[in-house]
Structure 1
Amino acid sequence: MTKPREKTREELQAEIEDGKKKIRQLENREKIIKQKLSVEERKARNHRLCKRGGFMESLVPELIAMPDEDAQTFFRLALTSEPAQEFLKKRAEDGNTE
């Protein structure tokens, strides 16, 4: 049985460089994938906020003409009401936190 030929210094250096190149490529690919994921998450959030905002305006049309500060006060009052707090508490107990 013959002994396998040992690699030369140049071959080993080339192998190291190839490995480093592959690592850089994979790191760049990871960066691109993370950016795409971030864009998709941002789109989903934006869609959810617009959908819910439209729903709120359809329930309370006065919100359309209301200044932001007044709308914020309205929601704060509505969401701190006893029925709203009971609803949120029940949802948390049922495990429906999505």
Structure 2
Amino acid sequence: KALQHQLKQLTRKERTHRLCTRGGMLESFLQEPERLTDDDVMLLLKLIFHRQDTQELLKKMLEREKPETP
């Protein structure tokens, strides 16, 4: 049970790190991100991810072979 808890904590830490890293990446592309609302950012993301070229690129990325985890 302790091992399961430890694994869950590690998974949570990895997810938190990933979210923070990717959120930082997103903000680096936004002009004056502090002036944008969460709804503004969601609208931008929806528009970007509904583009055909974005969908095609994402599909290609997801079709790549997953790297092995050590």
Where structure 2 has 5 or more consecutive residues not aligned to the other structure, the ranges are none
Please, what is the CA RMSD of the aligned residues? 1.9
Q: Which structure's relative contact order is higher, taking Cα pairs within 8 Å and 6+ residues apart?
A: 2
Q: Which amino acid aligns with 1:88?
A: L
TM-score normalised by L of structure 2? 0.80
Q: Please give the residue correspondences for 1:16-55 in structure 2 after superposition, counting only pairs within 5 Å.
A: 31-55=1-25
- SS of 2:28's equivalent in the other structure is helix
* 1:57 equivalent in structure 2: 27
* 2:39 equivalent in structure 1: 69
Q: Which of the two has higher C-alpha Rg?
A: 1
Q: Are residues 1:86 and 2:60 paired? A: no
Identity of aligned residues (%): 36
Within 2, Cα distance between the matches of 1:83 and 1:63?
Answer: 25
Where structure 1 has 5 or more consecutive residues not aligned to the other structure, the ranges are 1-30
